[in-house]
């Protein structure tokens, strides 16, 4: 008996696998992208996006219900999933609305209110995933939670990052130009 060598995946097969993965996971990438877009847009325009965030919470709720649906085995569990997710995302929406109340909003600039709403959305996503038994929704919440301090640090450190990139670029240019000089020997 001869052993068969393992087949090496062709580029086409790998491409199909990645595409298949992206198609299966698109709701979670959409959650991440929509939340990070909201923070980025607010940061760039310095304008609050109250309506955007308020619309985003029910979208996250629908994705959480869809993610937990296969885990619910009967009609009673499906109803419990829908009921708990509606209540959960209603509470998240109420917390967001508290942030956007006039008196509270006046105390924060647009960047801090966007990061606060992102924190609420991250916590909401994480706990919704736990309640719906949908680990991918919890993972989105975890990633959004980790993004909050990263975004704050990036905003505070923009000049430092720009300086580091400039120094690296000058050093790289120096090394490249030095290597390209004709030798005199």
Residue-wise pLDDT tens digits, 108-154: 887 888 889 999 999 999 999 999 999 999 999 999 999 999 888 88
pLDDT at res. 85: 96
User: Is 117 domain-assigned?
Assistant: yes
- 177 pLDDT exceeds 80? no
Distances (CA, A) of 102 to 42, 75, 82, 98: 17, 42, 32, 9
Residue 163, H or E segment: helix 158-180
User: Is 17 domain-assigned?
Assistant: no
| Among candidate residues 132, 49, 158, the one with its CA nearest the CA of residue 96 | 49
Q: Which residue has the higher pLDDT, 157 or 112?
A: 112
User: Is 167 domain-assigned?
Assistant: no
Confidence of residue 22 (pLDDT cuts 50, 70, 90): confident
Overall number of domains in the chain = 1
Domain that holds residue 44: 23-155
pLDDT at res. 9: 47
Rounded CA-CA distance 9/49 in Å is 46
Report, as an integer, the average pLDDT of 144-173.
82
pLDDT at res. 148: 92
User: Is 99 domain-assigned?
Assistant: yes
User: Is 133 domain-assigned?
Assistant: yes
pLDDT at res. 155: 76
Mind listing the pLDDT tens digit for each residue in 26-57?
999 999 999 989 888 887 876 768 889 999 99
Residue 101: DSSP 8-state? S
- 179 pLDDT exceeds 90? no
User: Is 175 domain-assigned?
Assistant: no
User: Is 184 domain-assigned?
Assistant: no
Cβ contact 118:148 at 8 Å: yes
Decide: pTM greater than 0.95.
no
pLDDT at res. 153: 84
pLDDT at res. 5: 46
pLDDT at res. 182: 60
User: Is 179 domain-assigned?
Assistant: no
């Amino acid at each position: 008996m001869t052993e068969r060598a393992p087949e090496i995946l062709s580029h086409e097969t790998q491409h199909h696998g990645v595409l298949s993965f992206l198609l299966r996971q698109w709701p979670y990438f959409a959650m991440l992208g929509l939340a990070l877009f909201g923070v980025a847009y607010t940061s760039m325009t310095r304008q609050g996006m109250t309506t955007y965030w308020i619309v985003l919470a029910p979208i996250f709720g629908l994705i959480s219900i869809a993610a937990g649906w296969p885990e619910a085995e009967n009609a009673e569990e499906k109803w419990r999933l829908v009921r708990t997710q509606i209540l959960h995302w209603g509470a998240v929406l109420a917390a967001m609305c508290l942030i956007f109340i006039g008196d509270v909003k006046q105390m924060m600039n647009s960047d801090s209110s966007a990061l606060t709403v992102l924190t609420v959305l991250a916590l909401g996503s994480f706990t919704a995933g736990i309640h719906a038994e949908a680990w991918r929704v919890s993972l989105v919440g975890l990633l959004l939670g980790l993004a909050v301090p990263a975004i704050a640090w990036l905003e505070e450190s923009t000049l430092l990052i720009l300086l580091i990139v400039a120094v690296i670029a000058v050093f790289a240019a120096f090394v490249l130009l030095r290597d390209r000089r004709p030798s005199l020997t």
